[in-house]
Chains A and B, each alone.
Chain A
Amino acid sequence: MRLILTSILFICLFGCNKSQIEDVNFDEEASQESGGTLTNAMIGEPNNLIAMIAGDGASSLIAGQIFNSLLKYDENLEFEGDLAESWEISEDYKTIKFNLKVQKKWSDNHPITCKDVLFTWKAVTHPDTRTPYGSDYQLVSSAQCINDYQFIAKYKEPYAPALETWASLHILPEHLLKNEDINNTYFSLNPVGSNYYSLDSWVTGQQLKLKGNPNAVHGKPLIDNKVSRIIPDLSSQFMELIAGNIDLMSINPIQYSRVFPNRPELNKKINLYKEMGNGYTYFGFNLKKRPFDDINVRKAISLAIDRQEIIDGVLLGLGEEITSPYKPGTYWENKNIKKLSFNPEKAKELLENSGYRLNNNIYEKDGIPLSFEILTNQNKQREMTAVLIQRRLQDIGIDASIRVIEWASFVNRFIKTGEFQAVVLGWSLSLDPDQYSIWHSSQQGPGQFNFIGYSNKTVDNLLEKGRQELNKEKRKAIYNDFSSILYDDQPIIYLYAGYGLSAIHKKIKGVKKLSPPAGIYHNDYEWFVPNKFRRNEMSL
């Protein structure tokens, strides 16, 4: 669908003559000026601006600009204080003490104190709170405030991802919420926060406007207003972008490497940015079923797939191969793993070692042909990936069919019940290396995430140890071992991690040319729109 649309767009782009002459030179340097408005687009409307209750991406995107956590990631993905000035971890790793920044205020001028932190922890762990994220915080056995600015969280067992969990919990104002039902409160539509922006207005279904928060914990941002328009269709978003009505959007590989290079007049006003994305796509097997319980079969499939071909075909080259489930270029990536490269001959050899013989161009063993069904959900990139895999497998004598299913049915009828053979799916590349819920053998129940049924004692041990080790170097060693064993076992085949592609209007200054590990949007509080480039908002 998107492909068709884009090709039509092409015809249109070349068919129509652009008569306008734009004489503004957006490349001109400009000095920092505060004020102005940045307009962007979202495909969906936020549900609820209390992030612990909301489950959707749009909500966390907006809520993240309104609320602070105790900690946050700096541009190199190291922890730094957000609401916390500093933090101390005890010798036995079981107690974390946060020293809050003093004299900070909510946007309604009420002071931010430890009471707010304690209230938030109580809310997220309360059994009646409708949050899917409670379990991480329930590991805290007791939490208390020593005084207004010192918060202590005690754990029964050392829990290494703890800091990460405190970096993803938005602290909520106690004074506004203590008498409210957090599941159903008007606060979720009209929040009061402490971060750079606060909510200005919200027109249901159309747009949401944020304005700079004068009490912002880290100081006022340079851009005064942010307008997020709700435009569900990506082609329409793209039109709005090139018409200059929105200032930035994420684009797809076709727009990045086919549309923009052919349109010099677009490059005059729009900059493109490429950075590592946040997820990877994999080819996974149901390890409890034949023939995938045989490691030779998995390796053979892995050798038969040409990953570069998939990256070139599906992402137009805008992606990378990965060998460990961590973001390439970050601390946790295991750089010592040797990649399995495309080698169909070796694949056949492995199959024959396992007792498979060719019959009518299809391998079989004990009279059962090597054939299975690849399942995926309605996602164009995954569908195309499955097709490329199918063809490569056919080349070496494995018969694969493809089935594409709507998401809810996919999850409930096939994944939860374990009634699948192979899937093309994705996981996110998490910032904390803990992968317990995905790979530990205890996580195989219905609805849990080790649905492929991976169980390996050594990996279990490493995952348990990794959760309790807070020393960074020791932790790195543990997860290096974990990712090499995982790669040797090939319970899933890593296919690619795609780049995140953004198009940002040139009038937005202060965007870093080389994006830091934390991503291009990391320093958006330093972005600014020079006065001469600001659009006349009334005339739009």
Chain B
Amino acid sequence: MLKYLLKRIIWMIPMLIGISLISFFIMHLAPGDITSNESAFNPKASEESRQKLRKMYDLDKPIIVQYGLWLKRIIKLDFGSSFASHQRPVLWEEKDKNGNIKPGLIQKALPITLLINLLTIFLIFSISIVLGTIAAVRKNKIPDRMITLFVFVGFAIPGFWLALLLMYSLGVSNQILPISGLHSIGYEQMSPITQFIDMLKHLILPVFISCLSGLAGISLYVRNGMIEILNQDFIKTARAKGLYEKKVIFVHTLKNALLPLITILGLSIPGLIGGSVIAESIFAIPGMGKLFYDAVLMRDFPVVMGILTIGSILTLLGNLIADLSYAWADPRIRRGLTK
């Protein structure tokens, strides 16, 4: 088992180098760099000063040299600073000589995105399991049809559209929920409890919108898994020996049907740090999606590469965790691994 784990982890290193190489080159193949975007059509900004900037950022060097420089830094876990004029560190805050702290970009954006995504995934899985189970038990009857219709409508509705409608009806017409942002004005002066409620109120709409499109996939997974298992012989046996239907469904069927969900859960780990650009823009949430999107448009290479690197590490780790937990949950696979 340990040998297997070591092998998997060592394999990650060449994979990571490969991923970073490809993303670095693709990023640099896109036309333009930060200097041409910040002031491309500002007649007051001269071409000489742009050349000067290019030199300062090493953008005038051959691409392979630039990759080498980047790799050298990243091995020391130094993600560098953004090319944008705020020059904030990509990953974590830095102190200058006077003790002033410059906050890191990912450090500020990640907790918000993580919070929203964890809430979303938790809700998607719990609602989907309930819906999928009901649909499977009532296969092809009205509840099943209604649930399928509902999750597909949720899947098909454009999120930004529904978001605007909800913002209008709940935020403008009836001022029940805040429209956008993470905190209200005056948040600093609130007591911890009101702060928590305020934050929660701001999260309701974004989390609801992110959940809606995810329900369809998972609930159908659960439904089909349940149906498949309900048709198997051991369920017939269970029923034949006179078990209560509740026990048949919740203990024997559901437990088996949930196994494939572990893989999906593992694979959603990298998704935890990726935010949705559209939802974040509409709800004015300063998360990872907007950070990455803006960095790509600005050709802010250190930020793009920083997020991609962290994303790929998490993807590989997610795969590993999915495999391991699968083995933990299913003895048949565990036996296969140790052989």
A residues with a Cβ closer than 8 A to B are: 5, 8-9, 12-13, 16-20, 39, 44-45, 47-48, 53-56, 59, 127, 130-136, 168, 183-186, 188-190, 201, 203-207, 227, 229-233, 235-236, 239-240, 242-243, 245, 407-409, 411-413, 416, 425, 427-428, 430, 437-438, 445-449, 537-538, 540
Contacts and interface: CB of A to CB of B under 8 A. Distances in A.
A48 B85 contact: yes
Nearest to B107: A204
Nearest to B95: A186
Nearest to A134: B49
A5 B164 contact: yes
A207 B188 CA distance: 12
Given A408-B299, A411-B40, A233 B282 contact: yes
Given A132-B45, A449-B43, A413 B31 contact: yes
Contacts of A13: 168
Contacts of A184: 81, 87
A12 B32 contact: no
B58 interface: no
B169 interface: yes
Contact of A411 (B36, B108, B281, B297): B36
A136 B84 CA distance: 23
B31 A55 contact: no
A186 B100 contact: yes
B47 A240 contact: no
Given A186-B96, A239-B171, A408-B30, A231 B44 contact: no
B284 A190 contact: no
B284 A231 contact: yes
Given A8-B165, A55-B38, A206-B286, A130 B31 contact: no
Contact of A12 (B42, B84, B168): B168
B37 interface: yes
Given A184-B87, A189-B86, A538-B186, 11 more contacts: A47-B84, A48-B87, A131-B49, A133-B49, A206-B286, A229-B181, A233-B281, A236-B180, A236-B281, A409-B31, A447-B36
A424 B122 CA distance: 48
19 contacts: A44-B294, A47-B84, A48-B85, A56-B38, A127-B52, A131-B49, A132-B46, A186-B100, A206-B181, A206-B284, A207-B181, A230-B286, A236-B167, A408-B299, A409-B30, A411-B41, A425-B41, A437-B43, A537-B186
A19 B174 contact: yes
A136 B184 CA distance: 43
Contacts of B42: 55, 132
Contacts of B109: 205
Contact of B32 (A39, A130, A229, A409): A409
A178 B81 CA distance: 23
Contacts of A190: 100
Residue of A190, A205, A412 contacting most chain B CB atoms (<10 Å)? A205
B251 interface: no
Given A437-B43, A537-B186, A19 B181 contact: no
A5 B46 CA distance: 38
Given A204-B103, A232-B281, A239-B180, A227 B40 contact: no
Interface in B26-61: 30-32, 36-50, 52-53, 56
